[in-house]
């Protein structure tokens, strides 16, 4: 079995530059594909999810120019093309859902598929919304992938989408709304989750000239105002959580470059959570530093992460080192992420001797003495990166399938080793 052993150490120190935000990059790549003119995106991450998106744009005939840290796209995508195209999203949920919506604005059939774990992720809410808009779905086998669809150029101007499962459905529809004549009104049913990602989508769309109005239960997209733009992708706040958590768990000081107090990413709140647990935090417009004196205990925390659910594995791992109970709430929907990030995460953390109890909408973590273990990340890059941090303070920690981190941060292990 291929595993990665983690070296325990007495404190960490380092200055880390994390990859660009894949959430921002993938939204920007879709908008660049739809916009007339040449868009240049800088600090684009090199993870598998982004590479899958760039490859899809290539297959769709856009011929993106890929350089060192940048991608240049000459749009717009031909909506009248009758070419049939097959796209592979690999294991990227965001990529697959954005590409599914993109397929609804072109005449040729578009097939989106991916790896086994991605095929099992639900997409019914997006399918239903695209059908309501007038798309023709040719392979409605179950609610997951693969899906083959072709669109119409006279899509409707109003649709209802269930946002209770994933904000990615709403974001995907928002972006194609930018090329629908007359715009698009999205009526949100259910209780929308991760609304901060809807705000992030609107922010990226605004950079491409598209006005978006977000209300409590609706989103209005102003159509046909889209234009090309140049965009610098800021550092990924989800990725930044791992080196910052390293300082909290092991003690010492870690500075993350490119992510400061002006970030629009909801996951940028992680440093504030660490502050509440007893760490010293310093932020500027561009950087974030977390410090902890090893003699100062970490306190437990109660945190609702409904708007920052990708932080759950990292925060749960830090909470295993706190001296009092912690509770994470608002995240029952993450059972349908790359892995079951409720029961699965609890099971893996408990292999260390942790005392983690799943609840309907989160996790309860009680203090416990930890020991080494071999962890199965369950094909989930965030589980691998977060649980590896236990090994900074506990001997005998190994992570199986370490290559899974390539989904978002291919250089993660070398960065962790260097701390």
Catalytic residues, which ones? 310
Output the CA–CA distances (angstroms, integers) from residue 160 to 130, 135, 195, 282, 306, in the order listed: 10, 14, 16, 43, 22
Coil vs helix vs strand at 159: strand
C-beta of residue 310 within 8 angstroms of C-beta of residue 339: no
d(CA 385, CA 168): 23
Output the CA–CA distances (angstroms, integers) from residue 402 to 5, 6, 305, 383, in the order listed: 10, 11, 26, 11
CA 384 to chain centroid, in Å, comes to 15
Contacts of 34 (CB under 8 A, 6+ apart): 75, 76, 77, 102, 105, 175, 176, 178, 179, 226
C-beta of residue 164 within 8 angstroms of C-beta of residue 148: no
> Which runs of E-coded beta strand occur in 117-251?
136-137, 147-150, 158-162, 184-189, 212-215, 218-221, 230-232
d(CA 84, CA 191): 36
Written as six digits, the tokens of 30 are 């879709």
Sheet order of strands, 252-257 included: 12-17, 252-257, 287-292, 280-283
**Nearest 10 degrees: CA dihedral of 207, 210, 211, 217?**
-100
Q: Smallest Cα–Cα separation from 173: which of 223, 207, 231, 232?
A: 223
């Amino acid at each position: 079995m291929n595993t990665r052993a983690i070296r325990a150490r007495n404190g960490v120190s380092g200055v880390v530059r994390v990859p660009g935000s894949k959430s921002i990059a993938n939204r920007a790549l879709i908008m660049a594909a739809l916009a007339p003119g040449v868009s240049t995106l800088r600090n684009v991450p090199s993870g598998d999810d982004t590479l899958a998106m760039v490859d899809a744009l290539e297959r769709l005939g856009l011929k993106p120019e890929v350089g060192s840290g940048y991608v240049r796209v000459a749009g717009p995508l031909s909506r009248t093309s009758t070419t049939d195209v097959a796209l592979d999203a690999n294991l990227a949920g965001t990529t697959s859902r954005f590409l599914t919506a993109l397929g609804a604005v072109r005449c040729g059939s578009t097939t989106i598929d991916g790896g086994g774990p991605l095929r099992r992720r639900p997409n019914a809410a997006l399918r239903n919304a695209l059908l309501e808009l007038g798309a023709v779905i040719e392979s409605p086998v179950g609610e997951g992938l693969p899906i083959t669809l072709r669109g119409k150029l006279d899509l409707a101007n109003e649709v209802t989408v269930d946002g209770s499962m994933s904000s990615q459905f709403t974001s995907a529809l928002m972006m194609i709304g930018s090329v629908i004549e007359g715009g698009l009104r999205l009526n949100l049913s259910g209780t929308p989750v991760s609304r901060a990602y809807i705000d992030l989508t609107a922010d990226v769309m605004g950079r491409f000239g598209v006005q978006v109005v977000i209300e409590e239960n609706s989103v209005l997209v102003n159509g046909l105002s889209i234009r090309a733009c140049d965009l610098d992708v800021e550092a990924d706040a989800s990725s930044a959580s791992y080196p910052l958590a390293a300082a909290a768990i092991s003690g010492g000081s870690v500075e993350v470059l490119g992510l400061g107090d002006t970030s629009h990413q909801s996951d940028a709140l992680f440093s504030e959570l660490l502050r509440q647990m007893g760490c010293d935090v310093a932020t500027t417009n561009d950087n974030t530093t977390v410090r902890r004196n090893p003699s100062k205990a970490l306190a437990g925390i109660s945190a609702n992460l409904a708007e920052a659910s990708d932080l759950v594995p990292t925060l749960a791992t830090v909470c295993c080192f706190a001296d009092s109970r912690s509770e994470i709430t608002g995240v029952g929907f993450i059972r349908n992420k790359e892995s079951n990030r409720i029961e699965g995460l609890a099971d893996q953390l408990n292999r260390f001797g942790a005392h983690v109890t799943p609840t309907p909408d989160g996790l309860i973590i009680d203090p416990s003495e930890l020991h080494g273990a071999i962890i199965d990340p369950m094909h989930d890059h965030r589980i691998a990166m977060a649980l590896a941090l236990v090994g900074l303070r506990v001997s005998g920690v190994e992570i199986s399938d370490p290559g899974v981190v390539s989904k978002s941060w291919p250089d993660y292990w070398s960065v962790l080793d260097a701390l």
